[in-house]
Amino acid sequence: MLDGIFSFVLLDTRDNSFLVARDAIGVTSLYIGWGLDGSVWIASELKGLNDDCEHFETFPPGHLYSSKDREFRRWYNPPWFSEAIPSAPYDPLALRNAFEMAVIKRLMTDVPFGVLLSGGLDSSLVAAITARHLAGTKAAKQWGAKLHSFCVGLKGAPDLRAAKEVADYLGTVHHEFHFTVQDGIDAIEDVIYHIETYDVTTIRASTPMFLMSRKIKSLGVKWVISGEGSDEIFGGYLYFHKAPNKEEFHQETCRKIKALHKYDCLRANKSTYAWGLEARVPFLDKEFINVAMNIDPENKMIKPEEGRIEKWVLRKAFDDEEHPYLPKHILYRQKEQFSDGVGYSWIDGLKAHAAKHVTDKMMLNAANIFPHNTPNTKEAYYYRMIFERFFPQNSARLTVPGGASVACSTAKAVEWDAAWSNNLDPSGRAALGVHNSAYENQINSAKAAVGPEKIIPKMEISPLGVAIQS
């Protein structure tokens, strides 16, 4: 077991009692349900419970459930969980070593694998460390010492350019997948069926990942290593620029880690496993989290006047002049959320598409139709309609988080800037005055992103891999 990242069930055949444990952070999905006859059901998907259980819910990460006691008990209780403010000094080398160990630990394999590479800081560091340590592994002996990297985006997307540059720098065998806005829209229903949520930002990011995972699996790859979790641990989302003090900064990172199983972990797990592809996430290694969350949060605070951008402590830890891990401009590239980095017209196109299917009159009646987590945008309403068609049970809708959010913040962090309450959107571009391509600076039209006719993609093989062409 990789440091508590898997869930398991233990059965005592003497009396048929059982013990269920979920992984520490919620990297893999798990649900628990109860039948009318008192039976207890465990499944990794809602679909495994919704027809047989009177009630079901998300199995809380880091907990045990005993059939004898019929209650949950927390087994994972690290120091940061209390949200007390840590005071350990920042040690760049200790942080670097802890993350390298987390990556190396996940290279145990005897099957073909690769790395998801968006060209941002997190995935690029994962790729750089993997490339450095791959040669001595069992996988390298069986499948070759060349690391395969994968990226997805609309043509001309920020991630595609940055990922190609990182891949060239690291010498990976790079596979670049293209999709169109229409390709993504055509997949929305399948995505919602597989990831089992109506959360807007999760669906936006899951769709390109879902399309990419299918292509990766078709190449014979069994698992990928990915960069989820860093933004939660280090305060990497752009709204952290407005954190008023180190106490609120740290408490927000704690809240974000605790909620990962509802958002990024759910996306990474279900978007990949929908095609039988495993995703491994070294940033969520328990030992690494302990090291990173024990740093005095004053060191994580974003201070542009001092040259400290988001995730400065992580960037600085890998800023090695003698043996550089990455080019400087990649190491210090501004944060792009995955749903933005694949191409800005992706989100704009989704909004335009939803506006065609949800009327103003429907929005006026939204609170009556969906009293729980009432959608406040046409895009959210559109996703909710699809979700309710697949999962009409009340238990299902209660598994999905809600509340105000800007640039992926929690509802509590929205209070950091009064202007945000009028601009509630999970895109990083909603961080007005922070993102280089914030909505306030944009004049392009979303309607141009979606044509009236359905575009059937074709697949083209090139030296870089498989590309979905329009």
Q: Using an 8 Å Cβ cutoff, are 290 and 79 in contact?
A: yes
Is 90 exceeded by the pLDDT of residue 135? Answer: no
Separation CA 208–CA 417 (nearest Å): 31
Instruction: Read off the pLDDT of residues 209-240 as tens digits, 9 standing for 90 and up.
Output: 999 999 999 999 999 999 999 999 999 999 99
Take residue 408 and report the two structure tokens written for it. Answer: 């992926």
Q: What is the pLDDT of residue 170?
A: 97
Q: Using an 8 Å Cβ cutoff, are 332 and 139 in contact?
A: no
Q: What is the pLDDT of residue 340?
A: 57
Q: What is the pLDDT of residue 432?
A: 52
Instruction: Read off the pLDDT of residues 14-39 as tens digits, 9 standing for 90 and up.
Output: 999 999 999 999 999 999 999 999 99
Question: In the chain, what are the domains?
Answer: 7-77 (3.60.20.10), 80-345 (3.40.50.620), 352-446 (no CATH)
Instruction: Read off the pLDDT of residues 423-441 as tens digits, 9 standing for 90 and up.
Output: 776 554 445 556 555 544 4
Q: What is the pLDDT of residue 271?
A: 98
Take residue 32 and report the two structure tokens written for it. Answer: 């628990």
Instruction: Read off the pLDDT of residues 318-348 as tens digits, 9 standing for 90 and up.
Output: 999 999 999 999 999 886 655 555 667 999 9
Give 30's DSSP letter.
-
In the block, residue with structure tokens 């065998």: 173
- Of 199, 218, 341, 167, the closest CA to residue 270 belongs to 199
Is 70 exceeded by the pLDDT of residue 442? Answer: no
Instruction: Read off the pLDDT of residues 115-126 as tens digits, 9 standing for 90 and up.
Output: 999 999 999 999
What mean pLDDT, rounded, does the chain reach? 89
DSSP 366-414: HHHH--SS---SHHHHHHHHHHHHH--SHHHHHTS--S--STT--TGGG
Q: What are the C-alpha distances in Å from 326 to residues 27, 101, 124, 320, 347?
A: 27, 18, 8, 9, 29
Q: What is the pLDDT of residue 426?
A: 57
Is residue 284 marked as binding?
no
Is residue 116 marked as binding?
yes
Is residue 227 marked as binding?
yes
